[in-house]
Structure 1
């Protein structure tokens, strides 16, 4: 509608509302509705109407739609004002049907009248007649009703894999021909990860303590000047610490913090451990993990999509959290020395980015049940919880194994790497 000059008149239904109301209400929706960085670039829903001005547009909205009706009216008002300045105020209108998300009869009749006016030059009150609904067999466009059953058909997943196939050679050439600092600078650029010196420092606020035998557990809240707030637990050994570990788990800091659990065991063995909830994990997780047909999507897919709309990546934001936490922990509790880093599951990919981009911060890196390669994600139709792990445009320049290759083998442990469906790879 916005870009194709062949569309003389248009009547978009049950979607246009504007990003402000969309994000204030139900949040971002299906991914075909989202363009990378479009909010940062200033492209809002109203611009789809304004880009085609003064060609006719009928905005069709439903009062009870989950796409906010007030946003539709705000958008219409903007369109009406611009079309009026162009001298064609009658070429943009709005119809509101008191229904839910559906192409109700009010919309069907309104759109038919709109098209009759602008395409046929007939301005009348056309009404939808009674008609017999066709049987399913009568409306099939293919013999079996499924285009994928046709000879030569390829699925969306196959098309994506075909597009990405040349990237493997491109990546290899990029890493062979680029000095490592330049290659890592490209990683930083794509993932939108600022240099450590540009990250605002964290401060901590105490929130109570708990004693478990010789281990002291402190509840902390980490904050920075940009408004980032991360809950954390600090496990202190009874005697002098033998090292410091920053522990990041996809299920949050509590996942391994129970009595007799792994974090307590590390502290009893002499390590000081800071377990942190990264953005969207632990206490910061948005809702529960979905079930049913939504099960492949993580609870933070909307946060990841907002980051995408802003031209950012949730993985990159979490990487910045890790870098700032590691710097704070090193200065606060480890006499400025590098810290050991553990990232599990969804926290593993930002941990890998952090270790590759600022290796001086980390004495060692351990990745547990972390995605082995992004190539798996685009090579299969079955993935699970991967949206928060993605970095827009990355596969033209780097994949996760490229980051692994930058780290010394004696400083990196890959424990039970997983495929795109979250299954441990068989050896």
Structure 2
């Protein structure tokens, strides 16, 4: 039974109605059209009187095997407003009558632990169990484990991506080329290539967690690199900058989970995660820069904020591509997320089951070690700087 108010501002009823039609058709093919139905009163979001009555009647049919029309208010007025609907939502029991534990909270019982505490203990146990196995793996085996865990693309699917040039802007001493790259069918990501008039032979892939334009203003960090003769590719990963989602939606969980939490959860239901998908994006942009003409004799990587974890993965998987890797504003490790009760915009950085295999510090040796990898301005799970 699907219950949905036709004036629901939380979930678009048009989508619910389309879903019901598809499900009804499917059940009809099974010969059980009676086993699915919809209750769609003229009501806002909630669990209103009409919906409660429909659920009770439905459960009566399928759990007791009897048809019974159940009414809380009988008869209903010919017309009523939302204020009257709310008045009919008064509970039949007190909070105390509904409590199953002595004080109304299981955590107040002696010896109880929260899910966060249980998860923290589990993470600590995983750290102890995975470390010996990780040490026995070769670098190739470690990279294969990382790819399998995050679901990043294999090397043979990354070869020679070809960007499209869609425009350019001239500044004093350099040109900004506007690029797009189709990383998957129908998914196009933008980038800005800052090309100095007199290239020195080196190039930097610049991945910012807010936007490709975040540090692109005259006099900014990118221009400083360009003035030194570097080609700088300021590229975007999916869900960042121009492809950021969450605009015009109900922003449930924004801050705690992130404005793109609906897309993150959808990816999870499809067996994917943003770390793996964005790692593939970073690897494709790396190949775009590697194939730049004239061909650079050295590549560097700068990643900031939300782009940091995918970038570190890309550097770890693409052994030897970067002479230096600068990571800024990243969590020191995933384990620090597990035991805390509150986080800020970290759902996009999570990978299901990853702590069975490795943690973020394990990527540094694969990306070049401490001589090549610099991690600055680490942040806490709440997004605040760690002193």
The interval holding the TM-score normalised by the smaller chain is 0.7 to 0.9
Measured after TM superposition, the shift of residue 375 of structure 1 is: 0.4
2:169 is the alignment partner of 1:222: no
> 1:292/1:224 Cα in 2 relative to 1: closer, same or farther (>3 Å)?
closer
1:97-176 alignment to 2 at 5 Å? Answer: 97-128=41-72, 133-176=92-135
CA RMSD in angstroms comes to: 2.6
- The counterpart of 1:386, out of the listed 314, 335, 346, is 346
Partner-residue secondary structure (3-state), 2:278: helix
**What is the TM-score of this pair, normalised by structure 2?**
0.85
Measured after TM superposition, the shift of residue 177 of structure 1 is: 2.0
Partner-residue secondary structure (3-state), 2:179: strand
Question: Are the counterparts in 2 of residues 267 and 273 from structure 1 also a CA contact under 8 Å?
Answer: yes
Partner-residue secondary structure (3-state), 2:320: helix
> 1:306/1:137 Cα in 2 relative to 1: closer, same or farther (>3 Å)?
closer
2:325 is the alignment partner of 1:365: yes
Partner-residue secondary structure (3-state), 2:301: strand
> 1:116/1:188 Cα in 2 relative to 1: closer, same or farther (>3 Å)?
closer
2:259 is the alignment partner of 1:302: no
Counterpart residue number, 2:82 = none
Measured after TM superposition, the shift of residue 210 of structure 1 is: 2.5
- Aligned counterparts of 1:253 and 1:167: Cα–Cα separation in 2: 37
Unaligned stretches of 5+ in structure 1? 1-57
- The counterpart of 1:196, out of the listed 155, 158, 173, is 155
Question: Are the counterparts in 2 of residues 373 and 419 from structure 1 also a CA contact under 8 Å?
Answer: no
Question: Are the counterparts in 2 of residues 205 and 222 from structure 1 also a CA contact under 8 Å?
Answer: no
Q: Deviations over 1:369-419 (max 9, x none)?
A: 111100011021121111111122211001101111322322111112222
Question: Are the counterparts in 2 of residues 247 and 343 from structure 1 also a CA contact under 8 Å?
Answer: yes
Partner-residue secondary structure (3-state), 2:176: strand
Measured after TM superposition, the shift of residue 310 of structure 1 is: 1.9
2:371 is the alignment partner of 1:424: no
**What is the TM-score of this pair, normalised by structure 1?**
0.78
Counterpart residue number, 1:408 = 369
Q: How many residues align?
A: 365
Unaligned stretches of 5+ in structure 2? 75-89
Counterpart residue number, 1:70 = 17
Question: Are the counterparts in 2 of residues 117 and 123 from structure 1 also a CA contact under 8 Å?
Answer: yes
- The counterpart of 1:96, out of the listed 40, 61, 64, is 40
| Bigger mean CA offset, 396-405 vs 117-126 | 117-126
- Aligned counterparts of 1:80 and 1:368: Cα–Cα separation in 2: 52
1:11-26 alignment to 2 at 5 Å? Answer: none
Partner-residue secondary structure (3-state), 2:194: strand
Question: Are the counterparts in 1 of residues 253 and 261 from structure 2 also a CA contact under 8 Å?
Answer: no
